[in-house]
Amino acid sequence: MRLFYRWRGMRLILPCFLVLSALILASCDTGSTGNNGTGPIATNGGKGCTRVGILLPDQTSSVRWETKDHPLLVQNIEAAIPNVHIDYANAEDNSATQLTQAETDLANGDCILVVAPNDSVAASAIVAQAKLQNVPVIAYDRLIQSKDLSYYVSFDNVKVGQLQAQYIANHYPSYENTSTTDTTTGTSTQTTTGNTDTPVNIMMINGSQTDNNALLFSQGAHAVLDPLLATGKLKNVYETFTPNWDNNTAQAEAESALSDEQNNIQIAYVGNDGMAGGVIAALKAVGLDGKVLVTGQDATAAGVHDILTGEQSMTVYKPIAQEAESTGALVKDIYLGISTTALTNGQTTTTYNGGSIPAILDTPIAVDKHNIETTVIADKYLAKSDICDGIPPGTDGVC
């Protein structure tokens, strides 16, 4: 009997529920947007803008995005625009998500977008949508392949390669090729009496060929090294690109080069610190660790540690704070509606389709044992506790 009454009750509730559900579903189907379907909001090219969207790519490729870029960008943009409202989003390594986040920002009235693209090609859709609303887009750290991109802020990647190569150019005379070649057998042996006319052998282990930055690093390096190679001061005995910047692959490449050259290699141009670790392991295996000039990049704790041990010679430090500061300065000029020429200083970056994008390309810093204290430590980019593990106190005045 109770069931009967329950059923009678349900008979009243069910239609109400169905009608309510239909209304909810109907309302869900309207595809409402954040601006209540009023269409694109026209902005004034960012002038007077007090709503800024920050879109970062992921949390997995590097901890930098969340631990450094995110807070530094917020801090610099808040300093640039009084009472600014910032919409922050992380695409979690999904280009479609990033596009949706950008659309949401635009619908909410964001009038400047700072985008570190998850995919430099896919993110061109963000630029296209922003252009419809006259919203400037700043590509942060990674270029967006769109002619309509407003600005690009990054480090001068060609300069990175140049700094690495310049260090080699400055120091290669200290790494003379001391081998002599037995012309009958073609094998070389290390001797103590070096021949300064013999070119210094260099192996070049570049970054990933699918990373355009790796090509730019290599371009910069060759700009400095090619004259030395052409004049026979250096001899490029091995050069390759390393898929995915993989450290183990880099080690295998170094082992292969050492084997091919009977360990007669004095310079190892290595794209970054991670791969440099692999190369050092290969050198260690043949007793050449500390005897070969090894370059790196990123000023990682491991890389700087290896500099202190003498196994790595240098690294390139790209202060993220500077990159975020440049972005903040650019946002400020856009907000004020004044020319950004003073910031970009006439620099441009080209897209694949010939677009010439005004760019702020911050200068990276070469770091060796002489300036660790004044760069990465002074900037609190690294702590001494990160790099001094196992290093004797007093080493290079750092630990």
Partner 1 sequence: MSSTLEPLVRPRRKITLTVRISALLISAVVLPLLITIIGSELILRPTLTSQATVEMQNDAQTHAGNIDSLLIARLQDLSALSQFYSIQQFLAGNSLYEQQAKAELSLGYHLDPNYSAWTLFDTKGNTLLSYPIDPAPRGKYQIAPEILSQLNSINRTVISNVYFDANTHMGFIDIYTSIATSHGTVAGIGRSTLMLTDIWTAINNETNAAPGSYAMIVDGNGVRVAYTNTDTTLTTEPVALFKAIAPLSPQFEQQIKDEDLYGNNQVAVTTMADPTLTVPQSAPFQFTPAQQGQSFEAVAVSCNVIPWTYIVLRPVNTITGAANQQDIYLLIIAAVITALAAIVGLTIGRRMTRPILKSVALLTASSESLKKLSAREQARAKEQKWIVESAQTGLQSVQYYAKASGIAARKLDEIGQDVTQNWEHFDSIKRQRRLYEITTAASYIEKASSHQERSSKGLSTAIQVTNQVAEQLVSGATSASDAAAQLEEVIAQLRQVVGE
Q: Which of 60, 231, 339, 385 binds partner 1 (CB under 8 A)?
A: 231
Does the protein bind partner 1 through residue 188 (CB under 8 A)? no
Q: Which of 151, 241, 245, 335 binds partner 1 (CB under 8 A)?
A: 241
By C-beta, is 37 or 227 nearer to partner 1? 227
Q: How far apart are the first and last CA of the chain?
A: 85
**The token pair that represents 300 in the structure block:** 């990682």
By C-beta, is 354 or 393 nearer to partner 1? 354
Nearest approach in angstroms of CB 342 to partner 1 is 23
Single-letter amino acid, residue 159:
K
DSSP single-letter state for residue 178: -
According to DSSP H, which parts of the chain are helical? 2-28, 64, 70-80, 95-107, 124-132, 157-171, 212-230, 247-260, 273-285, 301-309, 320-336, 341-344, 384-387
Does the protein bind partner 1 through residue 14 (CB under 8 A)? no
Options 78-86, 232-240, 338-346, 391-399: segment touching partner 1 (CB under 8 A): 232-240
Does the protein bind partner 1 through residue 354 (CB under 8 A)? yes
Does the protein bind partner 1 through residue 212 (CB under 8 A)? yes
202 within 8 A of 267, measured Cβ to Cβ: yes
Residues 118 to 147: which contact partner 1 by CB under 8 A? 119-122, 124, 145
Nearest approach in angstroms of CB 269 to partner 1 is 13
Does the protein bind partner 1 through residue 86 (CB under 8 A)? no
Does the protein bind partner 1 through residue 169 (CB under 8 A)? no
**The token pair that represents 117 in the structure block:** 């693209």
Options 18-26, 42-50, 220-228, 299-307: segment touching partner 1 (CB under 8 A): 220-228
Phi-psi region of 263 (alpha: psi -120 to 50; beta: other; left: phi over 0): left
By C-beta, is 3 or 13 nearer to partner 1? 3
Contacts with 231 (C-beta within 8 Å, 6 or more apart), sequence order: none
Q: Vertex 157, ends 90 and 315: CA angle to 5°?
A: 95
Cα 147 off chain centre by: 21
Contacts with 305 (C-beta within 8 Å, 6 or more apart), sequence order: 386, 387, 388, 389, 390, 391
Distance, CA of 357 to CA of 352 (rounded, Å): 11
By C-beta, is 84 or 229 nearer to partner 1? 229
Does the protein bind partner 1 through residue 25 (CB under 8 A)? no
Does the protein bind partner 1 through residue 91 (CB under 8 A)? no
Distance, CA of 131 to CA of 150 (rounded, Å): 9
Nearest approach in angstroms of CB 169 to partner 1 is 13
Q: What is the CA radius of gyration of the chain?
A: 28
Does the protein bind partner 1 through residue 236 (CB under 8 A)? yes
**The token pair that represents 171 in the structure block:** 């120091």
Nearest approach in angstroms of CB 237 to partner 1 is 11
- How many residues interact with partner 1 (rule CB under 8 A)? 31
Does the protein bind partner 1 through residue 275 (CB under 8 A)? no
By C-beta, is 140 or 241 nearer to partner 1? 241
Nearest approach in angstroms of CB 357 to partner 1 is 12
Residues 355 to 394: which contact partner 1 by CB under 8 A? 356
By C-beta, is 120 or 327 nearer to partner 1? 120
For residue 193, how many other CB atoms are within 10 A of its CB?
6
297 within 8 A of 279, measured Cβ to Cβ: no
- Tokens 């001094």 correspond to 388
By C-beta, is 212 or 309 nearer to partner 1? 212
Residues 291 to 350: which contact partner 1 by CB under 8 A? 350
73 within 8 A of 138, measured Cβ to Cβ: no
**The token pair that represents 369 in the structure block:** 């044992």
In terms of Cα–Cα distance, which of 290, 252, 234, 298 is closest to 272?
Answer: 298
Does the protein bind partner 1 through residue 243 (CB under 8 A)? no
Does the protein bind partner 1 through residue 89 (CB under 8 A)? no
By C-beta, is 96 or 342 nearer to partner 1? 96
Beta bridge partners of 204: 239, 269
Nearest approach in angstroms of CB 96 to partner 1 is 10
Residues that bind partner 1 (CB under 8 A): 1, 119-122, 124, 145, 209-210, 212, 215-216, 218-219, 222-224, 226-227, 229-231, 236, 239-241, 350, 352-354, 356
